[in-house]
Amino acid sequence: MGACFSRQPRQPGTRSGAKQQEDLQVSASPDLASSKERAKHPAVSKAAAPPKAQQAAAATQHTPRSSVPTRSTSSHSPFIGNVSSAGPDEPSNLRERYRILRKLSKRSRSPVFEAVHRATKERVAIKLLARGPDCSTLLRGIENHLELSHPHIIDIKEVHLTPKYLGLVLEFAPGGDLFQYIQSHGSLTETETRRIFQQLIIALEYCHGKGIVNRDLKPENTLIMTRKGMPFVKLSDFGYSKMEAIETQLRTQVGTVGYTAPEILMGLNHSNEVDIWSAGVMLYVMLFGAYPFLEDSELMEERAKFTLTHQRVLAADYKLPADAHVSTDVADLLKGLLVVNPAHRLTIPAIMKHPWFREALPEKATLLNSRCWATSWSLHQDRSEVHDLLIQAQYSP
């Protein structure tokens, strides 16, 4: 019944990423090794959300069945470029500005590289998406990400168009991703889990206040800026995100098996409550180093495991590990997050009022989002210019 904490497969029928060729490339997240360690322990703020209409106008990740998952990744540079090269042999503007240090991701469809700006020596991550029709499915998520400027969200610093790729220059996260971090520890203390969860909820409150639903929250998409003391984390991938004011009927089956909310699995119209479910799964994974619903028995065929996992999600059929030593408060919070009916799931304001969440909450955390909501477009490139580049990226050179 135990399954390694590893990268989870995508939902059947979810959109596929663009195929990549080996060229310039950038960062994702590594795999977690299985572990039976399970630790104990407790986890960041509150602010009133702005009117979504205003934001829309600005926009045109039993006993645990699966042990620690094994993987299935704000300042802006003044050197903004937007090269739309005329020929395949023309040097990439990215290569002129940046020196590639190493490949961070193993995924061929959207390779990520660590790089350094040749003039400023600033370290960045560069993510490449192959130009062409496949790229079009990613553009809405990129546009949504560009609307976000927050201490707990990775910045997009520059957007480039090369003969082969749409290149995104991203804020670099030296601490790797949360998936790696959990894998290296087996599980996290309740205190450490609480601090990370607080940051996650603050970021979600901000996104939802901007009318954006992430739909693919998981440790692999949560990056760590520093591991000194308590980890400082940032959300990094908005590829499946949707702007609610523009796309009012959200029915697409997207996300990652093990983290996906029941309403998505059932093909129902859904809203930002799906992010609350995924946050609950992440809370469980951090505390116990295991997935609450995933079945990964070596004695079962893949299809049977997949079906059983779905059945457990649809019934919210999970249990705390028999040897778990966690507070009653965090167990109560989990019970309120992993609720099948989204109407009965805890809301973000309710989460922020929960005793477990409020413990050791930084004093200024509740003021953060009210300041961030006042900021709209923060990229140094013009909005229309970037929009044009994204449109051009849909067409092969």
In this structure, is residue 233 part of a structural domain?
Answer: yes
Q: What's the pLDDT at 254?
A: 62
In this structure, is residue 266 part of a structural domain?
Answer: yes
The number of folded domains in the chain is 1
Q: Are 127 and 140 in contact (CB under 8 A)?
A: no
Q: Are 360 and 334 in contact (CB under 8 A)?
A: no
318-373 pLDDT, tens digit per residue, is 999 988 899 999 999 999 999 999 999 999 999 999 999 999 999 888 788 888 88
State the catalytic residues: 216
> What is the number of other CB atoms lying within 10 angstroms of the CB of residue 135?
22
In this structure, is residue 105 part of a structural domain?
Answer: no
Nearest residue to 36 via CA among 334, 329, 324, 298: 324
Q: What's the pLDDT at 86?
A: 30
Nearest residue to 210 via CA among 95, 55, 27, 383: 55
- Residue-wise pLDDT tens for the chain (397 aa)? 344 455 554 443 444 333 333 333 233 333 333 333 333 333 333 334 444 444 444 443 344 455 555 554 333 322 223 333 333 333 467 888 999 999 998 666 789 999 999 999 999 999 999 898 888 778 888 999 998 999 999 999 999 998 888 999 999 999 999 999 999 999 999 999 999 999 999 999 999 999 999 999 999 999 999 878 889 999 999 988 988 766 645 556 566 878 999 999 888 888 999 999 999 999 999 999 999 998 777 778 888 888 899 999 999 999 999 888 999 999 999 999 999 999 999 999 999 999 999 999 998 887 888 888 877 666 778 888 888 999 999 988 7
Query: How do beta strands 66-67 and 290-291 pair?
Result: antiparallel
The b-or-e profile of 295-320 (16+ CB within 10 A means b, else e) is: bbeeeeeeeebbebbbebbeebebeb
Instruction: Name the pTM for this structure.
Output: 0.77
In this structure, is residue 220 part of a structural domain?
Answer: yes
How far from chain centre, in Å, is Cα 265?
19
Q: What is the CATH number of the domain that holds 338?
A: 1.10.510.10
In this structure, is residue 101 part of a structural domain?
Answer: no
135-152 pLDDT, tens digit per residue, is 877 888 899 999 899 999
Collapse the DSSP code of 283 into the 3-class scheme (helix H, G, I; strand E, B; otherwise coil) and give the result. Answer: helix
Q: What's the pLDDT at 107?
A: 66
In this structure, is residue 248 part of a structural domain?
Answer: yes
Residue 222 CB-density burial (10 A; 0-12 exposed, 13-18 middle, 19+ buried) = buried
Q: What's the pLDDT at 67?
A: 58
Enclosing domain of residue 208? 178-372
**Rounded Cα distance, 178 and 124, in Å:** 18
In this structure, is residue 125 part of a structural domain?
Answer: no
Collapse the DSSP code of 235 into the 3-class scheme (helix H, G, I; strand E, B; otherwise coil) and give the result. Answer: strand
